[in-house]
Structure 1
Amino acid sequence: MKAGCAVSVMLMSAVDPYPTDAGKKVVLAGFVEYFRDRLGPRDVHYLLVGGQPQPEFPITLHALPRPSRKAALAAVAGRVPTGRGTLQESLLYSPEVSRALAETLDRIGPDLEIYDTIRMAQYADGAHANRQLCYLDDLFSERYAAMLDAGDRYPDVKIRPLGNFAQHVPGPLRPLADSRLPQRALLRMEAALARRSEDRAALRFRRNLLVNDGEAARLAARVAGRGAVDVMAVPPLVRPPTYRERQYRGAPDFVFVGLLSLPHNEDGVRAFLADVWPTVLTRMPAARLRIIGRDCSRELTETVARCGGSVTLEGYVDDLTEVLRSASGLINYLRFGSGIKLKVIEALGRGLPVVSTGVGADGFATGAANGILVADQPAQFADALCELTDPGRNRAVSDGARGQFESTFAREAVFACYDQAFALG
């Protein structure tokens, strides 16, 4: 960094962090808030691929072009077969974007460059490696491998691997990702290519950041002995409203929160309604489940309709305070996935007990003392939900949830971790 001078930072992404209505956006918005707090808005630059000028953006925004369809398909044809990039990297690559990035960096002259996942890391100029970091989010290779494993273990699983990346995929190619045989072939190929790109990033960048401690350790172990690596986990900045004491009085009311276009969320809700919810209703006929999240598929809508009045679809809710304040617990019934689940952090911040599978709780401290009950079998999951309807038990798990949030995910704790990760001093 420049001794005694102002420091400038560049973040490059294909994701607009606003509105913060998806987990990835929450993480990026947290980075923006941190750098704006530490450096001021003029010295923090956000380079948005496919973006448009936005007068209300909180830092300096630079709109870069989106790769044309022709350029994206050419990149797929030229890079995927040679192992130079994944499908997702290739669909976001073009020489035009590379030139626009170089010109923007020449004007800015940043002291720190941060590239959002391997999709943007492919644009980093190795000549400036000493000032470059890569935010890997989670390990895409493990995400795809988990989808394949889930398909083997659960015959009913329906995987839509594109999720919210579908906007970057040419329309004619999208059906391939949703048809089972080509889907599995694509997932196997993408998992192998992503692993290669992740390993390259670990060896290439000054520091690599993930949101999950376990994934950070596994990536470092994968490339051990191949060169110097610096891999670190950083918590996302989730800002629930000012804490208000919970008003739980024993009603068997539960809530699921999450973007329903994400494959692990849709599958988790469908599996929960099939495997766990009937048992809960048998034991607690008055039980209710509120599903909050946008982009619900037609199939999931039909599944919910067959549950009668015990389950409601409520779409996106801007303020979850009242919903979560009175609920018995958050349901996080995930059968596959990777990374760390922001919905769990949201619940911890509000003191809402969480009942999760082990997959969904990856990256968190678990147990009643930490606010997260873990159960992987349907009967055990139902038991955990039923026991949370005891107000005393609920209060104890709620206190554990708040304790974990304050020690790990509160603003001061997150910013202290970012100070170490980004080393602005």
Structure 2
Amino acid sequence: MAAALATCDMAVVIEGVRTARGWSQGDLARAAGYSQSWVSRVINGRQSLTAEQIQDVAERLGVPLHLLRFGGVPSREGPTVLGPGGTKGVGLTRRRDFGRAVAAGAFLTVGGPAGAGEQGSVDESTAPALRTITSGQRRMDASSSARHLLPGAAAHVHLSEQMLANAHGTPFRTDLSAAASEASGFAAWLHADQGATEAARTHYRNAVLRARQARIRLLDVYMLGSLAVFEIEVAEAPELGLALVHEAEHVLGRSAHPTARAWLSCTGALAHAGVGDRAAAARAIRRAEQEVDRPGNTDPPWPWVFAFDHTKVAGARAKVEVRLQRPEEARKAFAEAHARRPASAKQSALLQVELASAHVDAGEVEEAFRLVDEALSTGLRFDSRRLVARVHSFRKAYRGPGALCVREFDRRMEALVRGTAAG
């Protein structure tokens, strides 16, 4: 038992408690507050535990937390998962395939077996299943219309909130708060793409609220930063975005993962550029570059999927330079950002509109309108109202000469308004 405590081998610890007290597995499950099947999987080494689950089970079974060598309290950096023997395991979300999660989600929708109580529809698999559904929807966003994804995402938010309500008084509430936060954050993104700014803002606010209920600092920062990006780039309110970045920086602290710090610094740079503060924007970009170069910037922390590298910093720098009306610097940064890894089609099109503004500032009208014409085609193909609106804003802001390319673009826009344009 001493060795198991020292290595946080919860399978041995839990089985040791059961044996010492003469309990059956059913007795143990009732004392721990989990299902008997879950307890059986833990004892047999087939079930990984989050740090919060370890703390919860230990407290319920009377195991002193200071004897468990995993830091004493759950990490607020995110859902670290500990496998048998205390080793850092793979998160449950990544280990469950999308098909199984959809099946679990369908089961949860009807509330479990007939006659089960509301809390009976919630167990240790509920939050991982919900998260995996959100992850699958996010992957589909790269190649699907937000209009097609939005009904399913909205239903998923409703399901996540229902499961969270059912979890009241159970040890699963914290994990379900995190799952509900992710679902709301994705729904907010889709609403923003469809031009529904108030609905997007409402979902982002709920995502922040649920992240704070989950007591996961990085998720809180991720949702605050996402709301800041929305205010800066969609709502065109950089002052509000900057205030949100400052709040997220306060929550994040100085010892966070480099990916999180680099991403938040780039978001802050966009906000500073939006209010015209060149010096502050440049400092934020330099901080992001320094964070990217840190040795620890390898595996990104949840909920980030990819590490923030120099390519992504270059993309942020390009958008900053566009906002500061420095076309040559913007074009160099865009070239650096696209040299190694292309973005998704919709993200590339949004960047094309940004780059078109830089070409206009440099007097290269034909290239600018070639880019926005391609971006418009992408916006129509994916039915992205956000992208089409960005193209409209570009044309409205253009005050240059009426070249042939401008007249041809205007004819296309007129045909689009009449409903006769092809994508």
Q: Please, what TM-score do these two structures have when normalized by structure 1?
A: 0.28
Structure label with greater radius of gyration: 2
Higher relative contact order (CA 8 A, sep 6+): 1
Higher helix fraction (1 or 2) = 2
TM-score by length of 2: 0.28
